[in-house]
Amino acid sequence: MQRRNRPLPFAAMLRSYKLYLMLLVSSIFFIVCQNQGSITSLVSNVAAASSSGAVDDLPPDVVAAPLRGLGGDGLELLYGDSEPALGAEKIRSRSLNFKDMPSKLNDRSSSTSAATSSSAATTTTTTTAKPTTTTKTAPPTGGTNGTPKSSDAGSMGRFEVDRSFRFPVDPKLLPPLYIITPTYRRPEQIPELTRLGYTLKHVQNVLWIVVEDSENRTTTVARLLEEIGVPFVQLAAPMPAQYRKQKVKPRGVSNRNRALQWIRANATEGILYFADDDNTYNLKLFEQLRHVRKVAMFPVGLISKYQVSSPIVKNGTITGFYDGWLGGRKYPLDMAGFAVSVKFLHSRPKAQMPFKPGYEEDGFLRSLEPLELKEVELLASNCTEILTWHTQARKNPSAPALDRKKYGGTNLVQLTSWLV
């Protein structure tokens, strides 16, 4: 019988490996074909992110474009992480091009997608517009056609334009809250903003308007706001030079007026509230603010020698004001003791805060007149509860310079970047 030549074991293994390799390549090719759309989208998103840059890549002297095409304010819009329960992907912060915005607040024609939930009254957005790299160098303010014009005391700095998007606060879901927080560089700034930010993280349908007393917005604050994840707008509005020479300075006035200017240009309904970063807030307060028709008032704790500032209420009517310093004010209230409807603000186009230390609240409320006390809504159970406290942090001296020769190459070098 003729004997057959059997293949060597090595040759058999080699053929098996070739077969396995062909199957592996075929499987990869099949998967790539099935997911071609997802891969293309991923590559596009990466390219867009690299071209526009994250917050940390922005120069510290950039104030970017506004939220809606209703005015030409220069500002930085940064909105937080999408709601995971809504199944939307995270959105990196972008600079925004005012020219690309829809001209109407409720216009849904922009290239975005939104997901809504009946249990969580929030919206999320996905942008697809191509970014631009134009940088405007003129200080921008509100213009009727959405283009920058000459600056005023309430808007300073440059802005960088990038891409369009959809407003993250939807008034159809829940009356939006516009929380205005003036801030300035100091050792307590970051911890106090952190406390307030994580409080607002529990509030639905809110937009945090943070206005820095500086020529330009700072990357330190921008980075913190992005990490917290609350939808926010970052502005820069320095105190005019003539007031910096005063012994008692009108702090926060230019910041708040700048925020009012932004609200007039970008919001049509909702409630605005001046929430300083050195206060502590009960979450019940924000829900009670939702349906203010004109002006609401309520007590503030830890104010002056009386430890409380409040309207005096008898039989549901304001009969006066209780405050440690009346000073001839018609409305002796703390800044955190009242809120205003956005619609009512629009009906008083000249309303603003005066550069008069100690009379900022009184001056602003006077500028809202005609306003009768019987029209004022009383919150906090008819002004019988304290839902906000002036828990001002202890003042800290500036940190001494780090000895680089002694501590160079250690973690202390990075830690000092958090300090003032």
Measured between alpha carbons, how far is 106 from 123 in angstroms, rounded to an integer? 14
Q: What tokens were used for 77? A: 């819009």
Q: What tokens were used for 355? A: 């550069």
Of the candidates 361, 369, 375, 377, the residue annotated as catalytic is 361
Measured between alpha carbons, how far is 373 from 361 in angstroms, rounded to an integer? 15
Q: Is 361 a catalytic residue?
A: yes
**CA–CA distances in Å: residue 349 to residues 346, 354, 359, 372:** 6, 15, 20, 18
Measured between alpha carbons, how far is 208 from 67 in angstroms, rounded to an integer? 13
**CA–CA distances in Å: residue 380 to residues 170, 175, 177, 282, 292:** 26, 19, 17, 10, 13
**CA–CA distances in Å: residue 87 to residues 90, 113, 216, 226:** 10, 12, 35, 20
Q: Which residues are annotated as a binding site for Mn(2+)?
A: 278
Measured between alpha carbons, how far is 156 from 142 in angstroms, rounded to an integer? 12
62: region left, alpha or beta (phi > 0 left; psi from -120 to 50 alpha): beta
Dihedral sign, CA of 12, 14, 15, 17?
A: positive
How many CB atoms lie under 10 A from the CB of residue 201? 13
How many CB atoms lie under 10 A from the CB of residue 343? 15
Nearest to 376 by CA among 319, 322, 328: 319
Nearest to 287 by CA among 210, 339, 363: 339
Q: Which residues are catalytic?
A: 361
